[in-house]
């Protein structure tokens, strides 16, 4: 093989190697050297196996705490980004309805800020390990002062919807209600049958979500129906994936309608202390 032919083969390989190194470098900087869950976490669970698990805990205003020492709990599960500032802000927003909102860290400290980084975390995570961790957290909720674990709901966004559905089907008697937002779909009735006779499920989806087709949403609803699980599925028009964010609440009719639907759903089954409290992001 002459020198020219060698270059024809070598140059593309060098370019490909450089591209792979570049992508690997970006992922490493994002996932391993970027933001960490510890920057957001304000609580550490001491689990029965001796392990520790970080979480963000949002408490309602003092108006609730003055005369309530058994507040309902919402276990909120983060998107594929990890335990970051956005999920913490959503937890704070929801806590103003009279809940102690607990956001466990499913990624063991890692947080992504880019889509490739989030995808890498999502593909690498051991969902069996996550389920076991969340079971342990559910069992340890009583360690948080002021909680009434008998009134606990699960709520998950995207990846967190999968976490929520895995958890409530493992411990169906431990949750009075479940909310899954653009995630957590199950098409086999057997996967949701453990929820029969237990707390209801609210599914919230966007009509134009490129990741979750309406056919999949229909399949999820059919599975819940066949398993005779109490449920409600809401598909909101003109919105796609992950349309409920801290900076979109209060800015649009559809987002606010979806946010208020989940708030009303939780209020029905958790029965929080009634207060007129508002939260301002400014």
Does residue 30 surpass a pLDDT of 60?
no
Q: What value, to the nearest 5°, has the Cα angle with vertex 39 and ends 158 and 103?
A: 40
Domain ranges of the chain: 1-33, 36-270
Q: Do the beta carbons of residue 111 and residue 80 sit within 8 Å?
A: no
Q: Give the fold, CATH level 3, of 36-270.
A: Rossmann fold (3.40.50)
Lowest-confidence range among 87-96, 170-179, 246-255? 246-255
What is the per-residue pLDDT for 123?
96
- Residues written for the chain: 282
C-beta separation of 118 from 151 below 8 A: no
Indicate the average pLDDT of the chain. 88
In this structure, of 63-67, 185-189, 193-197, 278-282, the range with the lowest mean pLDDT score is 278-282
Asked whether the predicted pLDDT for residue 52 surpasses 50, the reply is yes
Q: Please state the rounded mean pLDDT for residues 223-236.
A: 99
Residue 140: count of CB within 10 angstroms of its CB: 18
pLDDT at position 276: 44
Helix (H) or strand (E) holding 222: helix 214-226
If DSSP codes are grouped into helix, strand and coil, which group holds residue 84? Answer: coil
Calculate mean pLDDT across residues 188-195: 99
Residue 71 has pLDDT above 60, yes or no: yes
């Amino acid at each position: 093989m002459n020198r020219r032919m060698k270059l024809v083969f070598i140059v593309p390989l060098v370019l490909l190697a450089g591209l792979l190194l570049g992508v690997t470098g970006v992922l490493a900087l994002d996932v391993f050297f970027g933001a960490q869950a510890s920057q957001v976490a304000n609580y550490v669970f001491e689990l029965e196996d001796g392990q520790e698990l970080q979480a963000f805990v949002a408490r309602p205003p003092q108006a609730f705490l003055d005369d309530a020492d058994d507040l309902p709990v919402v276990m909120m599960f983060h998107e594929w980004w990890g335990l970051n500032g956005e999920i913490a802000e959503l937890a704070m927003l929801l806590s103003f309805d009279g809940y102690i909102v607990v956001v466990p860290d499913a990624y063991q400290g890692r947080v992504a800020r880019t889509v490739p980084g989030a995808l890498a975390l999502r593909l690498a995570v051991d969902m069996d390990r996550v389920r076991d961790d969340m079971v342990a957290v559910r069992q340890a909720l009583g360690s948080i002062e002021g909680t009434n674990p008998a009134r606990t709901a699960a709520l998950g966004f995207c990846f967190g919807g999968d976490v929520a559905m895995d958890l409530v089907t493992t411990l169906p008697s431990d949750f009075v209600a479940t909310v899954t937002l653009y995630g957590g779909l199950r098409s086999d009735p057997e996967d949701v049958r453990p929820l029969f006779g237990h707390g209801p499920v609210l599914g919230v989806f966007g009509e134009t979500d490129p990741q979750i087709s309406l056919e999949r949403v229909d399949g999820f609803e059919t599975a819940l129906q066949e398993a005779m699980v109490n449920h409600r599925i809401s598909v909101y028009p003109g919105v796609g994936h992950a349309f409920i964010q801290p900076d979109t609440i209060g800015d649009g009719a559809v987002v606010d309608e979806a946010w208020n639907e989940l708030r009303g759903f939780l209020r029905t089954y958790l029965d929080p202390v009634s207060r007129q409290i508002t939260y301002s992001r400014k």
